[in-house]
């Protein structure tokens, strides 16, 4: 029997997951996100998928249902903002309640809309929290077959050590998450960004305004010259170390103020990857933090991906957050291929 398949992407951001799903051959009708900064990048790179500016917590189920149209197979995907569960944000507070609610809102929309296939991507620590247990239990109560695992993006051909929780669920039966091909060589920082023209700290490439690096203070300019690939601030002489690193509490953050290694995948690209002091985000050779473009490439966005309408619209903090928060495009493609394989099996 001929079936029509359609996807809606909740918490879509600038479209990393949508682009990957589309690359895998899926029809993504729309992406929904609360941040209007995402609209240009989402629509400019994923036409005809539409960007819907809305708060998922307040999105009526009937409005979500309408986005699927008259398709016979509804696929709902999403990555609820994950900061409360990230290893980079161990602190908990009442302010995390709203973020926990985003996962619960996703669950409630699944209950009301009853999509045929569901996918959720998030940080690994989510599996240890009650909200995830409730999410899975609710899916199983609705007769979904649920499968999930923690995937390291580097094991799946991406040039980044990024651990992600991927969940797939289907009302039709078991749905497989592919195993990594460990025989394949890993993609590296070198193979991903070495072709870009050298720029200085605070500089920008003439032919690519996104290939732009933050300025360094005089002190950090000295520090980065004393930093080695794969190293940290512990490699510096004492006089260059920050006061916070000389206290016991500072010893727990050894990965800041480091350089990437050329012939390994990058560390996890975070929302502040463009800042030298925010992680091991120093360029392997050049005395600067990696550029916005380099971060986007390590997140497997195509070089042609457009993030802003005009170069002068770029703001480091905004673009860094949008790129760092995105689902890597290649991870989206892997998820999409798994869904495609499942859909093909239904027609055999």
By C-alpha distance, which of 82, 50, 153, 30 is closest to 325?
82
Tell me whether residue 91 is exposed, middle or buried, using C-beta atoms within 10 angstroms of its C-beta: 0 to 12, 13 to 18, 19 or more: exposed
Separation CA 159–CA 138 (nearest Å):
35
Separation CA 42–CA 147 (nearest Å):
28
Separation CA 182–CA 154 (nearest Å):
10
Tell me whether residue 218 is exposed, middle or buried, using C-beta atoms within 10 angstroms of its C-beta: 0 to 12, 13 to 18, 19 or more: exposed
Secondary structure (3-state) at 213: coil
From 12, 79, 82, 153, the catalytic residue? 82
Write b or e for each residue in 35-73: b if 16 or more Cβ atoms lie within 10 A of its Cβ, otherwise e: bebbbbbbbbbbeebbbbebebeebeeeebbebbeebeb
Cβ(293)–Cβ(210) below 8 Å? yes
Cβ(230)–Cβ(261) below 8 Å? yes
Separation CA 159–CA 235 (nearest Å):
25
Q: Identify whether 82 is a catalytic site residue.
A: yes
Active site residues per annotation: 82
């Amino acid at each position: 029997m001929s079936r029509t398949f359609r996807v809606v992407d909740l918490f879509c951001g600038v479209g990393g997951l949508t682009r990957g799903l589309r690359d895998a051959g899926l029809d993504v009708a729309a992406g929904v996100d609360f941040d209007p900064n995402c609209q240009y990048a989402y629509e400019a790179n994923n036409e005809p998928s539409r960007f819907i500016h809305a708060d998922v917590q307040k999105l009526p189920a009937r409005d979500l249902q309408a986005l699927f149209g008259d398709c016979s197979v509804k696929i709902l995907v999403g990555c609820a903002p994950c900061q409360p569960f990230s290893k980079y944000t161990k602190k908990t507070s009442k302010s995390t309640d709203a973020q926990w609610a985003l996962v619960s809102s996703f669950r409630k929309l699944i209950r009301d809309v009853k999509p045929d296939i569901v996918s959720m991507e998030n940080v690994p620590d989510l599996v240890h929290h009650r909200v995830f247990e409730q999410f899975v239990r609710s899916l199983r109560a609705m007769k979904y077959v649920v499968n999930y695992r923690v995937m390291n993006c580097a094991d799946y051909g991406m040039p980044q050590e990024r651990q992600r929780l991927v969940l797939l669920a289907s009302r039709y039966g078991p749905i497989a998450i592919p195993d990594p091909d460990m025989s394949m060589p890993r993609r590296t920082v070198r193979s991903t960004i070495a072709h870009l023209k050298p720029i200085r700290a605070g500089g920008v490439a003439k032919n690519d305004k996104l290939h732009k690096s933050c300025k360094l203070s005089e002190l950090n300019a000295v520090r980065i010259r004393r930093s080695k690939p794969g190293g940290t601030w512990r490699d510096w002489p004492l006089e260059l170390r920050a006061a916070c690193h000389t206290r016991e509490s500072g010893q727990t953050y050894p990965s800041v103020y480091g350089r990437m290694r050329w012939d390994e995948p990058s560390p996890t690209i975070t929302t502040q990857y463009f800042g030298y002091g925010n992680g091991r985000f120093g360029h392997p050779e050049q005395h600067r933090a990696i550029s916005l473009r380099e971060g986007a490439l390590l997140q497997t966005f195509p070089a042609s991906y457009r993030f802003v309408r005009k170069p002068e619209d770029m703001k480091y903090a905004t673009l860094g957050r949008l790129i760092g928060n995105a689902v890597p495009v290649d991870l989206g493609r892997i998820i999409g291929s798994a869904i495609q394989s499942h859909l093909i099996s239904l027609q055999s």
